[in-house]
Amino acid sequence: METIQLLLMLLGVVAFLVVLIGLFFSEIVPLIALAVVVVAGIAVWILNATPAGRRNSARDEAEAARQARIREREAVRAEQERQDALAREAAEAAQTLRRAVRQLLEGLPERGAPQEEAIAYCLSSTSAARNPRVQAEAERLARRHVAVDERILCVALSETGGSAKRPALLILTDRAAAVSDKGTSYRYDPDPDDVTEGWGLQVGDLLFSFVANPRLWIALAAREEAAALPAPAAPPVGRPEPRLIRTAREAELIAVDWMRYLGFTDAVATPVGADEGIDVISERGLAQVKMEGSPTTRPTVQQLHGVATAKEKEALFFSLAGYTPPAAAWASQHGIALFQYDRQGTPQAVNTPALRLLETADARASQPAEGDHGSDA
Residue that wins the pLDDT comparison between 326 and 65: 326
Distance from chain centroid for Cα 246? 36
> What is the DSSP track for 313-333?
-EEEEEESS-B-HHHHHHHHH
Rounded-to-integer distance, Cα 182 and Cα 177, Å = 17
Query: What pLDDT is stored for residue 300 in this prediction?
Result: 96
Lowest-pLDDT range of 12-21, 86-95, 137-146, 218-227: 12-21
CB atoms near residue 268 (< 10 Å)? 22
pLDDT band at 112 (very low <50, low <70, confident <90, very high): low
Whether residue 32 has pLDDT greater than 50 = yes
Which amino acid, residue 74?
E
Whether residue 155 contacts residue 117, with contact meaning beta carbons closer than 8 Å, is answered with no
Of 337, 338, 308, 335, whose CA–CA distance to 323 is shortest?
A: 338
pTM of the entire predicted model: 0.53
pLDDT per position as a tens digit, 281-295:
999 999 999 999 999
Whether residue 52 has pLDDT greater than 70 = no
pLDDT per position as a tens digit, 159-185:
764 445 678 999 999 888 999 998 888
Give percent above pLDDT 70 in the chain: 77
Residue that wins the pLDDT comparison between 21 and 115: 115
Query: What pLDDT is stored for residue 370 in this prediction?
Result: 52
pLDDT band at 103 (very low <50, low <70, confident <90, very high): confident
Query: What pLDDT is stored for residue 311 in this prediction?
Result: 92
Query: What pLDDT is stored for residue 310 in this prediction?
Result: 94
pLDDT per position as a tens digit, 221-261:
888 888 777 655 444 457 898 888 989 989 999 999 999 99
